[in-house]
Amino acid sequence: MTPNDIQEQLIKYLTDAHSIERQALVQMKAAPGMAGDAEMAAVFEQHRTETEEHERLVDERLTALGASPSKIKDIAGAVTGAGFGLFAKLQPDTPGKLVAHGFSYEHMELAAYDMLARVADGAGAAETAQMARRIEAQEAAMAERVAGMFDRALDASLRDLSPDDLRDQIRKYLEDAHAIEAQAIQLLSKGPDLAGTSELASIYEEHLAESREHQQLIDNCLKSYGARPSRLKDAALRMGALNWGMFFGAQPDTPAKLAAFSYAFEHLEIAAYELLRRMAGRAGDEQTKSSAETILREERAAADKVHRAFDSALDASLEAQGVAAR
Ligand SMILES: [Fe+2]
Ligand SMILES: [Fe+2]
Ligand SMILES: [Fe+2]
């Protein structure tokens, strides 16, 4: 293998990071106005400044590595078309959705920089590796701050609602959770074929079985809210903006992308259940609260397992593209 191959990969991962930051910037500009709370708005405002800095740093690295602007644009277009744009389509319309989405997106960024750092290590690009780890730490810190806002977001979402509306909200969150699990099942049932390694294949397979149980638990909770199938369909349509098109056609770099995306998706679920368990607690709905807590533990465990498999996912992606394993 020529050293050029890994250089090429490095530029690709940098370009991915660049386009992720661009989308982050759009979100950070919109978020303060949707937060419904001054303190939350300030958190997003602050991360907007960080995001601008990230984009600049990544841009600088790309230039230093000799990536031409037209090439950057080409790859960025392909990346956006291929799926990192998915998250941007999930339009948050309440403070609760905003923090769930933000929490997940920060983990998408964290995964992207984690992988970039690993590729940079393999390419002997110390400066890029260092930059990636510095930004990764800032994304992780932002994810933590967002996680600290779950209660506040619920306060802001529920502020003007009567106790009856609270039940209505729980039903909606349950319907959304049902739709999220449907998406998870769809993604995970393709996972084993696209995983790239047997380790990841079995992680996806196990979590597929868990996700089916999650959906069943949510179904049971929904029964006490008299949920109708037509409403479940509506929720599924709301989630339909997430389509897994890119993953269903296997690309050479699918194992790494799928691992990063699954990691972010697990965090979307984590946020959804963090909100649901709090809301159910406020309404005294013990069944929903304890179901959410049970599911939450498994979502967290699945996210951790996927994270620990990043190295093998990357190796599989690099090997599939004829780049020597690091
Ligand atoms: Fe960033
Ligand atoms: Fe970020
Ligand atoms: Fe999950």
CA of 306 to the centre of ligand 3 (A): 11
User: What pLDDT is recorded for position 69?
Assistant: 63
Domains observed in the chain:
1-150 (1.20.1260.10), 161-326 (1.20.1260.10)
Amino acid 73: pLDDT:
61
Instruction: Quote the ligand 1 centre to 253 CA distance (angstroms).
Output: 22
CA count, 13 A, side-chain hemisphere, 194: 24
* Lowest-confidence segment of 26-30, 52-56, 212-216 by average pLDDT: 26-30
Residue 60 Cα, ligand 3 centroid: separation in angstroms? 36
What's 88-108 look like in SS3? Answer: HHCCCCCHHHHHHHHHHHHHH
For residue 44, give the ligand nearest its CA.
2
Helix (H, G, I), strand (E, B) or coil at 282: helix
Nearest to 75 by CA among 1, 17, 27: 17
pLDDT at site 3: 52
User: Which ligand is nearest to the Cα of residue 140, counting in written order?
Assistant: 2
Ligand 1 center to residue 112 CA distance, Å? Answer: 10
Q: Please give the distance, rounded to the nearest whole angstrom, from the Cα atom of residue 55 to the centre of ligand 1.
A: 7
Q: Residue 180: how many CA atoms within 13 Å on its side-chain side?
A: 26
The rounded Å distance from CA 275 to ligand 2 centre is 21
Q: Give 29 Cα–ligand 1 centroid separation in angstroms.
A: 13
- Higher pLDDT residue, 2 or 98? 98
Q: Report how far residue 35's alpha carbon sits from residue 156's, in angstroms, rounded to the nearest whole number.
A: 8
Which residue is listed with tokens 């959804």?
Answer: 272
Mean pLDDT of 22-45: 89
Q: Is 257 a residue whose pLDDT tops 50?
A: yes
Interval between CA 186 and ligand 1 midpoint (Å): 29
What is residue 161's predicted lDDT score, i.e. its pLDDT? 78
Please indicate whether residue 190 or residue 83 has the higher confidence score (pLDDT). Answer: 190
Q: What is the pLDDT of residue 67?
A: 81
- Closest ligand to Cα 113: 1
| Rounded-to-integer distance, Cα 216 and Cα 16, Å | 36
